[in-house]
Structure 1
Amino acid sequence: MPLLDINKPEIILVLNEAYDKEKRLRSYWVTKNTEKLQKAATLTREPTNYYEEDVMKHAMIAGLATITRDHKVATRNRRKVPLRDAKSMPGIESIRHEHSIINLGLGTAKEDPRLARPDTDLSPDPVMRPVDAKTRKIFFKPKPHFGREKYLHARAKILPENKYYHPECMSWDYGWRFSDSKMLGRAMHGRHLLLQKTLQSRVGPTPDPDYYKSPMHGYEKCAQ
């Protein structure tokens, strides 16, 4: 919408009428509410001389009791041993037994004595596999040829599946227990890409070996 041209006489008349109407309405409202305005502008209570900081301090002091109470309750709750709902579930012993690391075939009690537990023991299974005794000795030997840094380097060379029972992060899902796959290695009676390997070799194409020649027929042998 374009702006009004206030230099035109007809626009000036319209604006003057609007201003006069607004003045009359403002004067009427002030005249009607004169008593309320005077009452609101007059201080009818004793002055307290409070500052804004005093009001904030009063509100903070009133809330300190709640903070102290909540802190005591939180401290008491932190000292309590958390309850496991699994202990109250019927048949949880059999469920834990069927899904233990030993029953899943991921470990044995001989390799990890921590797995030899009764079915009534509902404590969580260990996360890491036991460390090899030879690797553990690196950690306790003196530097510079041994120590914590050498121990971590030695542990980094071990596959995650040989250090943990289950994948602990999403990046381990790729290649986890890849050695168990049946697709590893070349098939014994499968096809080989002989042409591709020949063309991509450094020496170029080579003649076929002797056992690639076609067999000789009877009349060829007689001719020789």
Structure 2
Amino acid sequence: MPLIDITNPDIIKFLIENYDKTAKLRMKWNHIHGEKMKEAASLTREEKGYYETDVLKQTMVAGMAIITRDNTVASSNRKLRVIRDGTHIPGITNLKKKHCITDVGFADPKIDPRLARPDTDLSVDPIMRPIDPKQKKVIYKDIPVFGRNAYLKSRSRIPPEQKYYFIECSGWEYGWRLTDSYFNKNAPTCGRVWRLTRDVKSRTGPHPDPKHYQNSDLLGVAKCPKV
């Protein structure tokens, strides 16, 4: 809305007329209610001897009728049957297992028979993948070719993602599903990069340079070894 141009003579005349009209209305209202305003401002009314407790008492007496009415209504409502919002409220027996690892696509009931269960079965999903029966027989064979150590050694050669469904410790975050990476599928077969890739993939890590690659000793005083 644009501002009013107070320099316009017509607008000045309009404002003056409204100011005069408002002042006359205020004077009329003050003339009509002047006596009441004086009485309220002077506080010279007759004292009736009321205390604060009397005011609270009247408030409580006025509310007693409501309390009586509420008690009467509540006594009748207690005998009524509760109205349910739904005709059927499901309980624990109606629960169904959803969002399990088979629904997400991480497991197959054909490979892991433990996952072939009805929807009413609320048991927790297994943590480990099924173990190969041939590998499981190793632990029950004779020592030293087989046994517990041979079983654990064969299990250590298997990547964690082939033994477990999800990451179970923080140490598996680096290297989890490493076979799906770009560098594993497109690894070089020659050159300096292949040497680095081969050393990193080894179980012992990168090896130091041989002794004949080291710098020769500086000339100077050398002590003879003790015999």
So what's the TM-score if we normalise by structure 2? 0.40
From the CA coordinates, give the structure whose radius of gyration is larger.
2
So what's the TM-score if we normalise by structure 1? 0.40
